[in-house]
Structure 1
Amino acid sequence: MTVVCVTYNSSTLVEAMASTLARFPHVVIIDNGSSDDTTAHIAQRIPHARLVTRAGNAGYGSANNQAMALVQTPFALLLNPDCLIAPDDLQCLLDCMRDHPQAGVVGPQNWRSETVPQISHREAFFKPDVDSTCTVPDKVVAADWIHGCCQLLRTRAFREIGGFDEIFFLYYEDDDLCLRMAQAGYQCLLQPAARAFHKGGASSAPSIRIDFIKRFHYARSRQIAIRRYMGKGAGRLHLAKLMIAALPAVVVYSLLLRRRDVIKWAAWGSAGFSAAFGLDLVPGRGKPAPASPVSNT
């Protein structure tokens, strides 16, 4: 089994990553063009990892696809830099995968703390009345979506479906991956006996620019997903509602001095404008450039 991590300006997380990854012999880390000292810290603190640096940020799915191309084990754990899992919990995921030969994805129950669970599985985003409450099951369950912060993949299944669709720069790539797994005949399972701890929102350093980029990509990826799984009509209706609401929301929240809401609606409106006019606006995306291996084990 190989652990795969994608980092981006994640230097503050390297210490915790090192503690987690030290327990696993096979590790691939792809750095998505960090502008801080993430890679230097990784090279120092996680020397056994195969570290690959990219000149620019081509997106989460693209980075994972590159990492998965290097995996030579039957299973791979995709693990966010702000997510922690113990060896016993990973073994629980591996046992579940081996007990279910048709499983393509198995995820743990994620926790914000020892007592606060995170929504880790649900039905497909487009199904009516999707339950947004966090219910922790007492046995293995099948789901349309398994949270992407920690996913154990069957390498063969991942490659069979072509990996992540790189049209999703950030967000909804895990929805799309799970849905395509199901289309190919594979199960997506949640094993609640396995626990992972996910801080959430900490995989890159916070800033107004990063907040705008994340919210832009949430809206952009949701629009792509709606068109793909609900049809062009639903996509057009969603886009119209978004564009009608965005400008008034920016004005109102500006007057109320609610900066976070201003950033959110400005980003969502920009994503809607980009989609409506067919513009290839992907903020945060770096130049596609060859990756450079830093260390190998």
Structure 2
Amino acid sequence: MTRHTSIAVIIVNYGTADLSIAAVESVLARDHGTHPVEIHLLDNASPGDDASIFAAAHAQRNWGDRVTLWPERENHGFGRGNNVVIHALGQRGIPPDYIFLLNPDAALRNDALAILADRLDRTPVAAVAGAAISLPSGQGVTAAFRFPSAFGEFVQAVNFGPISRLFRSRVVPLPPDQPDGPVNWVSGAAVMMRLAVVLKLGGFDPDFFLYYEEVELMHRIRRVGYDILYVPAAHIQHVEGAATQVKSGQPLRKPKPAYWYDSWRFYHLKTGGRLHALMAGLGWMAGAVLNAPIAVLRRNRMSMPKHFFRDFTRLVMMPLLTGRRGGQ
């Protein structure tokens, strides 16, 4: 008899109570084939009354033991918030087989959990499987990626079509229509992982508050010999940036939060060392310098966020040059 692999869905909320409830309901609305599913909804000390909203929804919607609430008193960020649940699951006598991380501003659009779990069941060499993602408009967005590299950061910062096409193999985002199969990493907005592998690696690195933590974890997973799969047959809808206010392709240049720069620095330090991180930083700054006149000539906005050179120098390059290694 085939064993029914179990799945723990983890949703980490911060200030998006209505969307998080919709995400929970999108999971409860499906039967997930033969896979037992439980849901863990963690509130990251939202500034509003999200925790009480969730408590009321739990009672009014009869969620029962299908949904466990985690009302935290501290904003742990994404990785540490997931770690709260991950480590608790690991303490069970029989932990779930898989965890499925679902953004609070995302929702299932088909039997994604069953599709991903079935694929991992059939592919023991893989430890991670990511779903395809679309916006509410139906437009597909990138959900599979290459690992960042020093030259890749330069290409991304220049943001000029001919250069991107010439060095396509260095561009981090893969096309939205990327076919099924192994990739370097997949979006953390909707990703399934083998819990045993995540626990063996210690979960998410706690130095990251938000951004790059899933990339770093999947880098470690790849390094110990497991594959990362992109499985576009599994499909979710994502309201990008609803919780963080950081979106790709925004028409207005806005500054990125300090934790984004910290996470960028941590990622390159932890995966490649200080020299690699310095080269990646110089690559990004060189690309940004070239992007400025290109944007003027093409009458486009610069691709860099507002105050980029000031913030990148202060929060990335100076710590790297002085040897401050953050959490390392």
What interval of TM-score do these two structures reach, taking the shorter chain for normalisation? Answer: 0.7 to 0.9
Deviation, structure 1 residue 272: 3.0
In structure 1, the residue matched to 2:178 is 137
Q: Residue 36 of structure 1: CA displacement?
A: 0.7
User: Which residue is 1:174 aligned to?
Assistant: 214
Write the distance in 2 (CA, Å) between the matches of 1:77 and 1:124: 21
1:109 deviates by 0.9
Compared CA separation, residues 36 and 158, structure 1 to 2 (3 A): same
Equivalence for 1:230? 272
2:50 is the counterpart of 1:38? yes
Other-structure match for 1:287: none
Map 1:1-297 → 2, pairs under 5 A = 1-23=7-29, 26-47=38-59, 48=63, 49-71=67-89, 72-86=95-109, 88-113=111-136, 115-126=138-149, 128=152, 129-132=170-173, 134-138=175-179, 140-204=180-244, 215-239=257-281, 261-262=305-306, 267-272=311-316, 275-276=319-320, 278=324
> Aligned pairs, how many?
264
CA distance in 2, matches of 1:177, 1:77: 14
Amino acid at match of 2:82: N
- Gaps in structure 2 of 5+ consecutive residues: 1-6, 31-36, 90-94, 153-169, 247-253, 293-301
Instruction: Kindly indicate whether the alpha-carbon contact (under 8 Å) linking 1:59 and 1:170 is maintained by their aligned counterparts in 2.
Output: yes
Deviation for aligned residue 1:110: 1.0
| 1:46 positional shift | 3.7
Q: Which amino acid aligns with 1:156?
A: A
> Cα distance, 1:193 vs. partner?
0.8
Calculate the aligned-residue CA RMSD, in Å: 3.0
Relative distance call for 1:92 and 1:224 in structure 2 (3 A) is same
SS in 1 for 2:124: coil
Q: Shift in Å at residue 215 of structure 1?
A: 2.8
What is the distance in 2 between the residues matched to 1:56 and 1:131?
33
Q: Which moved more, 1:263-272 or 1:7-16?
A: 263-272
Corresponding letter in the other structure for 1:76: I
Distance (Å, rounded) in 1 between the aligned partners of 2:268 and 2:325: 18
SS at match of 2:54: helix
Amino acid at match of 1:137: Q
**Superposed displacement of residue 87, structure 1:** 5.5
Larger Rg: 2
Q: Which amino acid aligns with 2:316?
A: G
Q: Indicate how the Cα distance of structure 1 residues 268 and 124 shifts in structure 2: closer, same or farther if over 3 A, else same.
A: same
Q: Counterparts of 1:41 and 1:8 in 2: how far apart (Å)?
A: 12
Equivalent pairs: percent with the same residue?
23
Secondary structure at the aligned position of 1:26 is classed as strand
Q: How far apart, in 2, do the equivalents of 1:193 and 1:241 lie?
A: 36
Q: Equivalents in 2 of 1:77, 1:132: separation in Å?
A: 22
How far off is 1:161 after superposition? 1.3
Provide TM-score, normalisation by structure 1.
Answer: 0.77
Q: Structure 1 pair 114/10, CA: closer, same or farther in 2 (3 Å)?
A: closer
Matched residues in 1 for 2:237 and 2:272: separation? Answer: 33
Would the alpha carbon gap of residues 179 and 114 (structure 1) be closer, same or farther in structure 2, given more than 3 Å must change? same
Native 8 Å contact 1:242 1:269 kept in 2: no
Write out per-residue CA displacement over residues 220-257 of structure 1, whole angstroms, 9 at most, x where no aligned residue.
111121222233123234556889989xx9xxxxxxxx
Unaligned runs of 5+ in 1: 250-257, 282-297
- Go from structure 1 to structure 2 and tell me whether the alpha carbon gap of 1:156 and 1:192 turns closer, same or farther (over 3 Å shift): same
Secondary structure of 1:98's aligned partner: helix
